[in-house]
Structure 1
Amino acid sequence: MNETLNVLIVEDSEDDALLLLRELRRGQFDPNWERVQTGESLRKMLTTRTWDAIVSDYSLPGFNAPAALEIVKQSQLDIPFIVISGAIGERSAVEMMKAGAHDYLMKDNLTRLPEAIRRELRDARIRAERQQAQVVLKQQQAAIEAAIDGIAILQGDTYLYTNQAHLKLFGYQSSQELVGKSWRLLYSPEEVERFEREIFPVLESERAWQGEVTAKRKDGSIFSQGLSLTLTEDERMISVCRDISNLKHTQDLLIYNTLHDPLTGLPNRKLLLERLELAINRAKRIENYQYAVLFLDLDRFKVVNDSLGHFVGDKLLVTISQKLKMHLRNTDLVARLGGDEFVILLEDIDSPEDVIQVVDRILAACQTPFEIDGYEIFTGFSIGIVMGNPDYHEAASVMRDADIAMYRAKAASKNSSQFFDAAMHTQVLNRVALETDLRKALEREEFVVYYQPIFDLQENQPIGFEALVRWQHPTRGFIPPDEFISVAEETGSIVHLDRWVLEKACQQIANWNQKFALNSPLKISINLSVQDLHQASLIREIDRVLAETELAGNCLTLEITESLLISEIDRTVDLLAQFASREIEVGIDDFGTGYSSLGYLHRFPVNNLKIDRSFVARFGSGNREDRVVDTIVTLGKQLGLSVTAEGIETTQQLEQLQKLGCEFGQGYLFSKPLAAAEIERLYFSNRSSAGSTAPKAFPCAS
């Protein structure tokens, strides 16, 4: 689901504003926006609505980004302010940043805009948290002054501050009687000697001491004093008298809450980065000192939250945090970054084998389900591993590389780990370049539709084709779909690509149906993604394409995966009903590999089940795949659905499928996906409206 973003755009060009919004949507934002062009309208918008970010053109007629920034600063609102310019000079950019702008981008390279906004939103949240912490600190100072326990601050031997309770405890009326004086005034010579012999060495080494001493009041009377001493980083000493246990607990709690995650009690990002910076510096000073960082992302956590609720999800996180600590030494640190992300810092290790042992223990622990509120929850971790080395100078670089390795592990398989290497960083940069090229590819018409014939297995004749997109990159040549389809889905480009394929494929099949006299019209099968199904304009676009190509609805089959079919049942049923009203057929692609949808099939107006190639590849060997294929064919017959087997590569597979009564099939045994011209040459050569009435049969069955 896209992230909602309230964005105020300072821009005179509506077209440029729409470009900004397009990039935000590509970056998984759902923008609620307004556009202003003057200082007056900007001031009004700042007072009437709450904004997450402001994006401003550098120069507008009668107005500019510096003036807009000044208005925002006068409003005293902490809103990320990003400058967009077509030709901003380096000096102007630096001046804007000095004036308080948070970032600037060039109009010809807006792809960084979503990333910049996410970063600034995170920084704004951190600033808000810091301000809140300052408020808490002031409240704490007020509480200290009002406390019934005596509290004092000393620099060296001299009092800098005493609260009223401290003065009252020692029998003084005014702070001037103690401030600027030595603490020795309040103790006997024997007790002073004990401080110097026993207490101060411990205080110096451990930075804190607490216990009981004998003190004297102003009038010379003696009493037992409960005392807590703490040395701060600037070598000041904090003294807490009398009820030291309660006050010490309050101080510790304040520090603890600042540095720990409230849900799990684990160290938070702030404490992790502090410890990681220390480890980096220690590795530079100490020979043979080695550390490692493990970036852990919990697999399937969103499924747990969505299905069982956030309360169960929170309990799972707490349980997992406790499990992680069990596999670590006291010198190691495990932190929660937020959500389902954890980071482990392993210090003073001997070799990568030590890290592997820790990782193996964590992954092995996930093989057993977690029992939460009566539920057995199976999950696992994707773990990215970075070994510390002299090239790392800051914690952010280590975290970045560990994150990259984690995503590589997640892509490889669930509950797995991956060590980072420099090639991964290069691949990430290549991925960014691929995303950029992909956005331009549609405009440059670099894509081409290939067609793989679908055959009637009983009549030995092609009845249609599946449309498969290929990318003819100007410098890299043909890029296979498995390299760019997932990128297109993640960036949102898949919707535009699928619309293009729909239009081109329908034009082609309509052309063939008109050009060649056939016993029955050819059909075209086109794949839809989950993002297509979420587009409100999908039906409208399909209607437009069918009308423009004059293609009948019953010549079009739309293929969706099994998991998409049941992701939103009521909405999907309604959408498929609209397809059916247009006589558009619906096929379930990769049937048998996704979620179990057998109980739902009767609710959906679907027409075809496509047996996944993974089953067909091992079909005919007397194994379990034979029973799966048999079951799917039988199920199709019982439900009145046609069945298509994909990935047919051998004559044995074909013959077995024919025996089962499988109606349709496709695969390399018949033909690989081909360009339109090659399809015409192989299947429609010497055939026209006046020629033969059937396309060529496949050679292996003729």
Structure 2
Amino acid sequence: MSEPLNVLVIEDSEDDTLLVIRELRRNGFSPKWKRVETAQELEPLLKSHPWDIIISDYTLPNFSAPVALAIVKNLCIDLPFIVVAGSIGEQLAVEMMKSGAHDYVMKDSLARLPEAVRRELRDAKNRAERKQAEIAVSRQLAAIEAATDGIGIVQNGVFIYINRSHLTLFGYSASEELIGKSWKTLYSPEQIKRFEQDIFPKLEQDRLWRGEAVSIRQDGTTFAEGLSLSLTKDNLLIRVCRDISALKQAQDLLLYNALHDPLTNLPNRSLLTERLDLAVNRAKRLQSYRYAVLFLDLDRFKVVNDSLGHVVGDQLLIAVSQQLQRHLRTIDLVARLGGDEFVVLLEEINNTDEVVKITERILADSQTPLHIDGYEIFTSFSIGIVLGSPKYGRAVDLIRDADIAMYRAKKQSNNSYQFFNAAMHTQAMNRLTLETDLRKAIKHQEFGLRYQPIINLQNQQIIGFETLIRWHHPQRGTIDPDDFVPIAEETGLITSIDHWVFYQACQQIARWKSQVNHSDELRISINFSVQDLRKSTLLQDLDAILSEANLAGSAITIEITESILIEDIEQTTELLSQLAAKQIRISIDDFGTGYSSLNYLHRLPVHSLKIDRSFVSQMHANNSNYEVVSTILALSKHLGLTAVAEGIETPEQLQALKKLGCEFGQGYLFAPPLTVEAVEKQLCQNNSFVV
């Protein structure tokens, strides 16, 4: 195989150059070459190309080998320089060799040129390696003395060399204080025993050891030492050491931060998982060991954050974390998972009653108001409890089941607890299956719409319809929205569903307006979630749908729940104002079940209130629900809003609402949610809207 060779040829004769190149090729070289004739050509090429060798004629019309060699030396380039001349006297040849040329070859003896090239390439390589070695040794010696690490050499157990950093590290001022002394001077008897029994045997085997030790300075103080030991072939022990006390402290701090919540300083999920894994394994080994896991969620924490601000919210979490710790023993652990969620691990419990007592103490204590930043804040918890057993194999399973039980407690009532059971897990799995099926339902359009008439209670004429979605599951049949809408809201799928509902409802009301007599004033009510209002393209999407249906905004009522109003009052007000500008009406659904909208109601561009069915269905003369309905109707009149009563099922309820001055209503007394065909039949019957 040919040897690659980068050749710079200084020659005025192209024929002579080709003879040199041919000779190199004939003898196993694969040359890449450039030919120059002047100093002006030579210097740039020397700087810009990596050459292996220079082959130069002695005399050129405007140049010469001595001048070329001087240029090479001035540039401090160590390249083999071979003179190839037609005739050169012995004296000139000697002078060239003294000046730095490496060889000369007569043009009539080019056969010896390849061997000269190989020899000079070998010599150049050796020179380069020797130079690099000398530089490396020089640098190493300088580095050892300048090193910030302490470096010492031990022979036969005593120091024979130490650098300045080693002296400083151990508190000595002169090398004579340690040279000739035993390495044991720097360590306690316990550490010496560790070196002799544990470290040195490994060092003998591997010739290298790295680790930590506790060292003693000259003044008797100790410090954490990072130490690297290496054993040479002639059994010299090389020590490289440094003070890692600050590093150890930083590592301890990093480890603490990695395992603790920065706000409350409670253990975080990582540390909790470690402790739970230990408990799981211990329960498998020891039949007598019992433990429990409590999953705590702070009820209505979002209200505090939204109304009083995140600073107060953070202070509340800190106060709650301190409150929780008061109820635990030293062997127990309370961790913050994030947000307003906490987990308590109770270890070495004797029975279930003990868990119940601790849980009830936590719930009772939470009823005492906390005073934060001038506010009196009442808190409560929803708590899910899992009793540890050998069946659990992972910490995540414990947390999952306690979380499931916590959600059951939250649905039950605030400030309550529930123990986990297998049925809860089954329900959670069913919920997960339902979520998966819901994603498929959106893709395959398995939804349908029903329309419940909204009635003028005075003349019982239809004034509009509320749009209600139904899911026609291919295996489970029709699924009520109460069973899938909460899942859609939690997973973010609700925006896709509501977009489809809005489109279909607009298309439908547009068809009714064009096909049915006396239907010009009909309105369609459509429910929106908070996620719909947060959608950045909401206004554009509504404009596009209304435009496609050739429908005015005045035909649409958007229903939002009372709780949406406090999410971001400024942003919500702006958005509702933009909707109102399009003549879209806004109705507050389930009014009376919320907690803060009265503070903002007068500021919002709202057109109507829907009285929640829970008040209407239990409304009897002079009872509390009757008073609530009466108050809502009075409030709506005062603010100039219309009111719609939901869930009217009996003539008595109808008469009571009419007596209180309620204008509109809906419910099974008039009609259930209807199919399109049933609506059209009702609208066309006797050309009347009378129900």
TM-score when scaled to structure 1? 0.62
Instruction: Tell me which stretches of 4 or more aligned residues in structure 1 moved more than 6 Å.
Output: 142-146, 179-182, 184-187, 225-229, 246-255
Aligned position for 2:414: 414
Aligned position for 2:345: 345
> Is the contact between residue 186 and residue 217 of structure 1 (CA under 8 Å) also seen in structure 2?
no
CA 1:509/1:372 → structure 2, altered by over 3 Å: closer, same or farther? Answer: same
What letter matches 1:470 in structure 2? R
> Is the contact between residue 454 and residue 463 of structure 2 (CA under 8 Å) also seen in structure 1?
yes
What letter matches 1:693 in structure 2? N
CA distance in 1 between counterparts of 2:172 and 2:465 reads 92
CA distance in 2 between counterparts of 1:497 and 1:217 reads 73
What are the Cα deviations for residues 86-124 of structure 1, in whole angstroms up to 9, with x where unaligned? xxxxxxxxxxxxxxxxxxxxxxxxxxxxxxxxxxxxxxx
> Is the contact between residue 293 and residue 343 of structure 1 (CA under 8 Å) also seen in structure 2?
yes
Which runs of structure 2 are paired with 1:662-681 in the superposition (5 Å)?
Answer: 662-681=662-681
CA distance in 1 between counterparts of 2:190 and 2:450 reads 91
Aligned position for 2:178: 173
Q: Secondary structure at the match of 1:297?
A: strand
CA distance in 2 between counterparts of 1:172 and 1:343 reads 58
CA distance in 1 between counterparts of 2:376 and 2:257 reads 32
Aligned position for 1:495: 495
Aligned position for 1:378: 378
Which runs of structure 2 are paired with 1:107-506 in the superposition (5 Å)?
Answer: 165=170, 173=178, 176-178=182-184, 183=189, 259-506=259-506
What letter matches 2:577 in structure 1? A
> Is the contact between residue 405 and residue 419 of structure 1 (CA under 8 Å) also seen in structure 2?
yes
CA distance in 1 between counterparts of 2:661 and 2:477 reads 41
What are the Cα deviations for residues 12-47 of structure 1, in whole angstroms up to 9, with x where unaligned? xxxxxxxxxxxxxxxxxxxxxxxxxxxxxxxxxxxx
> Is the contact between residue 573 and residue 605 of structure 1 (CA under 8 Å) also seen in structure 2?
yes
Aligned position for 1:544: 544
Aligned position for 1:572: 572
What are the Cα deviations for residues 279-299 of structure 1, in whole angstroms up to 9, with x where unaligned? 222222222221111122333
CA 1:411/1:182 → structure 2, altered by over 3 Å: closer, same or farther? Answer: same
CA 1:506/1:143 → structure 2, altered by over 3 Å: closer, same or farther? Answer: same
Aligned position for 2:127: none
CA distance in 1 between counterparts of 2:610 and 2:511 reads 26
What are the Cα deviations for residues 571-622 of structure 1, in whole angstroms up to 9, with x where unaligned? 3333333333333222121122223333433333322111111111122231
Q: What displacement does 1:644 show? A: 0.9
CA 1:637/1:418 → structure 2, altered by over 3 Å: closer, same or farther? Answer: same
Q: What displacement does 1:634 show? A: 2.1
Q: Secondary structure at the match of 2:405?
A: helix
Q: Secondary structure at the match of 1:557?
A: strand
1:694 equivalenced with 2:688 (yes/no):
yes
Aligned position for 2:53: none
What are the Cα deviations for residues 295-353 of structure 1, in whole angstroms up to 9, with x where unaligned? 22333334434444444333323322222122122222223334433221111112222
CA distance in 1 between counterparts of 2:182 and 2:417 reads 63
Which runs of structure 2 are paired with 1:504-653 in the superposition (5 Å)?
Answer: 504-518=504-518, 521-653=521-653
What letter matches 2:392 in structure 1? Y
CA 1:172/1:330 → structure 2, altered by over 3 Å: closer, same or farther? Answer: farther
CA distance in 1 between counterparts of 2:559 and 2:432 reads 29
What are the Cα deviations for residues 438-469 of structure 1, in whole angstroms up to 9, with x where unaligned? 12213322111001111111002222211100
CA distance in 2 between counterparts of 1:513 and 1:524 reads 11
CA distance in 2 between counterparts of 1:463 and 1:217 reads 93
Q: Secondary structure at the match of 2:384?
A: strand
> Is the contact between residue 306 and residue 566 of structure 2 (CA under 8 Å) also seen in structure 1?
no
Q: Secondary structure at the match of 1:327?
A: coil
CA 1:696/1:260 → structure 2, altered by over 3 Å: closer, same or farther? Answer: closer
CA distance in 2 between counterparts of 1:340 and 1:375 reads 19
> Is the contact between residue 454 and residue 664 of structure 1 (CA under 8 Å) also seen in structure 2?
yes
Between 635-644 and 460-469, the greater mean CA deviation after superposition: 635-644
CA 1:413/1:541 → structure 2, altered by over 3 Å: closer, same or farther? Answer: same
CA distance in 2 between counterparts of 1:435 and 1:449 reads 20
What are the Cα deviations for residues 351-381 of structure 1, in whole angstroms up to 9, with x where unaligned? 2221111111111111111112222122222
Aligned position for 1:15: none
What letter matches 1:583 in structure 2? Q
What letter matches 2:628 in structure 1? V
What letter matches 1:624 in structure 2? S
> Is the contact between residue 519 and residue 693 of structure 1 (CA under 8 Å) also seen in structure 2?
no
Q: What displacement does 1:256 show? A: 5.7
> Is the contact between residue 494 and residue 531 of structure 1 (CA under 8 Å) also seen in structure 2?
yes
Q: What displacement does 1:645 show? A: 0.6
CA 1:284/1:492 → structure 2, altered by over 3 Å: closer, same or farther? Answer: closer
Q: What displacement does 1:433 show? A: 2.3
> Is the contact between residue 409 and residue 417 of structure 2 (CA under 8 Å) also seen in structure 1?
yes
What letter matches 1:299 in structure 2? D
CA distance in 2 between counterparts of 1:143 and 1:269 reads 40
CA 1:517/1:384 → structure 2, altered by over 3 Å: closer, same or farther? Answer: same
CA 1:558/1:271 → structure 2, altered by over 3 Å: closer, same or farther? Answer: closer
> Is the contact between residue 513 and residue 519 of structure 2 (CA under 8 Å) also seen in structure 1?
no
> Is the contact between residue 519 and residue 694 of structure 1 (CA under 8 Å) also seen in structure 2?
no
Q: What displacement does 1:255 show? A: 7.2
CA 1:301/1:574 → structure 2, altered by over 3 Å: closer, same or farther? Answer: closer
CA distance in 2 between counterparts of 1:247 and 1:608 reads 66
Between 418-427 and 649-658, the greater mean CA deviation after superposition: 418-427
What letter matches 1:358 in structure 2? I
CA distance in 1 between counterparts of 2:396 and 2:603 reads 51
What are the Cα deviations for residues 613-666 of structure 1, in whole angstroms up to 9, with x where unaligned? 111112223112222211222222233222111111111110011112211111
CA distance in 2 between counterparts of 1:583 and 1:640 reads 17
Aligned position for 2:69: none
Structure with greater Cα Rg: 2
CA 1:569/1:252 → structure 2, altered by over 3 Å: closer, same or farther? Answer: closer
CA distance in 1 between counterparts of 2:495 and 2:247 reads 61
Q: Secondary structure at the match of 1:442?
A: helix
> Is the contact between residue 452 and residue 465 of structure 2 (CA under 8 Å) also seen in structure 1?
yes
TM-score when scaled to structure 2? 0.63
Between 655-664 and 331-340, the greater mean CA deviation after superposition: 331-340
CA distance in 2 between counterparts of 1:561 and 1:185 reads 71
Q: Secondary structure at the match of 2:598?
A: coil
CA distance in 2 between counterparts of 1:267 and 1:500 reads 45
Q: What displacement does 1:490 show? A: 1.9
CA distance in 2 between counterparts of 1:497 and 1:475 reads 20
Q: What displacement does 1:179 show? A: 7.6
CA 1:267/1:356 → structure 2, altered by over 3 Å: closer, same or farther? Answer: same
CA 1:425/1:517 → structure 2, altered by over 3 Å: closer, same or farther? Answer: same
> Is the contact between residue 517 and residue 694 of structure 1 (CA under 8 Å) also seen in structure 2?
no
What letter matches 2:419 in structure 1? F
